[in-house]
Structure 1
């Protein structure tokens, strides 16, 4: 911790410097106020110890200037001319404490220890508030037995630095669990970097993960730092890890084993220190058996397996999740409109889209609630389908024809729900308005829109 001493008496200044240096403090010293403020601006100490009576700029002026620059700095005033009035004035002006010369070194050290404890408490409290705020953004909500088991496992492995593999269907909240692991572990003060393999073209994946050097390939006009280096010291979450091509799997295995990487087009090894959390929505073990995923990489990733239950296996959590999503979308006043009929309809659904689908349904309920009520008829599962309502695939001549039919169905549904308003429909489908307009022109050219 940095301490600045401003004292015009040479013997006192040297004595204090020696005492505090011996206690492990980083000490800076000045013999008058203006020089002290210059040092303060450069070094930004956590504590300032200043004599009350100084040539030119006095201790009270120093106190005022310091607190103006840094309200969190702790200032201790010392003087040989003590009076109750002076002590009261200095404390009212913002001084942390007041010492009268001569004083025992232990008295000053005791004050400094109190400041250190207070500072640690403030930092810890700020970190806790930040951590809780981030957790509230993506909480793990559930009281069902599957979720209780998951939460217990997360709490157990959070402090461990081993690689974790999260398995779960789309929409179950794999990234949410990865963030919870990060925020509950020893790396919580460092970066959490998330990357979805499926969103990166295969030709660019190696460069995005490991980085590249300038001139490594056509278009590489500057050096590029990959996700591993960006997450150094923290946690790297790799979603859809099953989509990593076999060629890149070899490099990924080396990084996990050796804790070092080589950028594309580079020669030197770069050491990395990251916790790796992988996620997949498919059975990786089956992919290994089918020789589509390296067995050695699988075992390196699967040190701590976490399985996220689909929503259909934890339906007792639906009321809690619904209430959470109402609060998340600032519709707390509408929670009282929820009825037993609404919950019965929600719990009868198979939830192929899991928690993500439930949030979409809740958003729709909020948007379409009128006249102080929520009509259960607004709960439409059509875009996702219902349990057992499988399509007759024989009616489609090709995969493209099937996709086109389903896309058209979703567009028609969204436009009907939003009364032809393209902007509202785009928000409902969570796609850009321009993308939706293009799809409407291609698939529903005669649709009435506004």
Structure 2
């Protein structure tokens, strides 16, 4: 911390300065009130320690100037002439503390440590608030034709309360679109609650979404408010709706139709005013055909379908996304060191993990301060079995139909990841930049097809 001492009594001034210097603080001291007043007007200090009675400007004048120049500055007023009136006056003007001479070194160091800890907590809270604001204000980045169409759809749909189904591969930014819909709606000042079906154990889905009553089951020691109640007045975003348990889909359908439900173990009907946005990474219509998703629920969700294109279909957005991610991670200063070859390498890759994978790659570049790792990284990810993965290899007439080809490639990549992870699904999912639930769904699908 940067500290200024304004004290005309030489012994006290030197004693305080030495004491704080030994504690590792950056200390400056002056004997004149006018000089102290000048310094607090021209500089920003974390703490100002000032005597009340000084030649020139007085302690309260310094207090006012310090607070005016830097409201977060803490001012400690010290005096040998204590009175209730001056103490009250100093504290009303924003003094952190008002103490009398003679000063106790132990008490003074304890006081400074308290201020130091308070500043650390305050700075940490500011950082957390900044990160929260970044999450809440995530914007849709892209100027390609598919993204311009998406932005137009979001703009047209946001102000209405229609149920929206966002479709897109893993990593395309479905939650970003959901937050944009909420942010531009009339519900923007109300809660936005995001949940991921794949991340909630199936046995807990009903309780987590709709809540439960005390004694509804073992361990239900009090009434629990579910996500729908918490989102009342705002928006609830249900990601990976394709993983929603089949036996609970009728309850979700009722909420969508009637905006009411009953908590687990309860009998009272709970009414909610909430907008529902869902997202899926797979073809729900195909799930309906397989009787793995209710047809009536599908059509209820499919009122406003929004499709997010994969990154490989909008590569012209990659430079803007990259610049955004460098800024997001406080590394904008590195952009001037990037040459066109860096962006060209990124543009040549097909990004199976989409925008999420691109951001992870940018984070790795930031962490290593080495843009050249991108080429090796992309080659490594492009060829799980040591193949080059060049687009030129796709030429020829001996390839199977598209769906079968994509199925084979997906199986090949998943098997590679499982081998690398010693069949640990969590580690394999991390290698593939996929949510664990998504990988489990894919493995289940492969198993059902005898793959």
- Shorter chain as denominator, the TM-score bin is 0.5 to 0.7
Report the alpha carbon displacement of residue 333 of structure 1 after superposing the two structures with TM.
1.1
Q: Which residue of 2 aligns with 1:188?
A: 188
- Per the alignment, in what secondary structure is the counterpart of residue 277 of structure 2? strand
Q: Which residue of 2 aligns with 1:285?
A: 285
Matched residues, number:
288
Alignment of 1:258-337 (within 5 A): 258-337=258-337
**CA–CA distance in structure 1, aligned partners of residues 200 and 136 of structure 2:** 29
**CA–CA distance in structure 1, aligned partners of residues 255 and 173 of structure 2:** 26
- The 1:156/1:200 distance shift into structure 2, 3 A limit, reads same
Gaps of 5+ in 1: 1-129, 415-425, 432-450
Alignment of 1:27-426 (within 5 A): 134=134, 137-370=137-370, 374=372, 376-380=374-378, 382-383=380-381, 404-407=418-421
Q: Is the 8 A contact 1:194 1:237 kept in 2?
A: yes
Q: Is the 8 A contact 1:209 1:227 kept in 2?
A: yes
- The 1:221/1:392 distance shift into structure 2, 3 A limit, reads closer
**TM-superposition CA deviations, 1:414-440 (whole Å, max 9, x none):** 9xxxxxxxxxxx9x9999xxxxxxxxx
Q: Which residue of 2 aligns with 1:69?
A: none
**CA–CA distance in structure 2, aligned partners of residues 164 and 406 of structure 1:** 38
**CA–CA distance in structure 2, aligned partners of residues 383 and 409 of structure 1:** 18
**CA–CA distance in structure 2, aligned partners of residues 376 and 199 of structure 1:** 31
Report the alpha carbon displacement of residue 237 of structure 1 after superposing the two structures with TM.
0.1
Q: Is the 8 A contact 1:349 1:387 kept in 2?
A: no
**TM-superposition CA deviations, 1:209-256 (whole Å, max 9, x none):** 111111111121111111100100000000000111111001000111
Q: Which residue of 2 aligns with 1:31?
A: none
- The 1:429/1:289 distance shift into structure 2, 3 A limit, reads closer
- The 1:281/1:288 distance shift into structure 2, 3 A limit, reads same
Give the TM-score normalised by the residue count of structure 1: 0.58
Of 236-245 and 331-340, the range deviating more from structure 2: 331-340
Give the TM-score normalised by the residue count of structure 2: 0.58
- The 1:351/1:402 distance shift into structure 2, 3 A limit, reads closer
- Per the alignment, in what secondary structure is the counterpart of residue 382 of structure 1? helix
- The 1:342/1:243 distance shift into structure 2, 3 A limit, reads same
- Per the alignment, in what secondary structure is the counterpart of residue 252 of structure 2? helix
Q: Which residue of 2 aligns with 1:418?
A: none
Q: Is the 8 A contact 1:368 1:374 kept in 2?
A: no
- The 1:375/1:175 distance shift into structure 2, 3 A limit, reads closer
- Per the alignment, in what secondary structure is the counterpart of residue 261 of structure 1? strand
**TM-superposition CA deviations, 1:14-56 (whole Å, max 9, x none):** xxxxxxxxxxxxxxxxxxxxxxxxxxxxxxxxxxxxxxxxxxx
- Per the alignment, in what secondary structure is the counterpart of residue 224 of structure 2? coil
**CA–CA distance in structure 2, aligned partners of residues 399 and 144 of structure 1:** 29
**CA–CA distance in structure 2, aligned partners of residues 252 and 178 of structure 1:** 19
Report the alpha carbon displacement of residue 173 of structure 1 after superposing the two structures with TM.
0.3
**CA–CA distance in structure 1, aligned partners of residues 173 and 231 of structure 2:** 21
Q: Is the 8 A contact 1:135 1:180 kept in 2?
A: no
Task: State the Cα RMSD in Å.
Answer: 3.7
Q: Which residue of 1 aligns with 2:63?
A: none
Q: Is the 8 A contact 1:159 1:184 kept in 2?
A: yes
**CA–CA distance in structure 2, aligned partners of residues 391 and 408 of structure 1:** 24
**CA–CA distance in structure 1, aligned partners of residues 291 and 434 of structure 2:** 36
Q: Which residue of 1 aligns with 2:85?
A: none
Q: Which residue of 1 aligns with 2:64?
A: none
Report the alpha carbon displacement of residue 339 of structure 1 after superposing the two structures with TM.
1.6
Q: Is the 8 A contact 2:228 2:236 kept in 1?
A: yes
**CA–CA distance in structure 2, aligned partners of residues 291 and 356 of structure 1:** 31
Q: Which residue of 1 aligns with 2:386?
A: none
Q: Which residue of 2 aligns with 1:21?
A: none
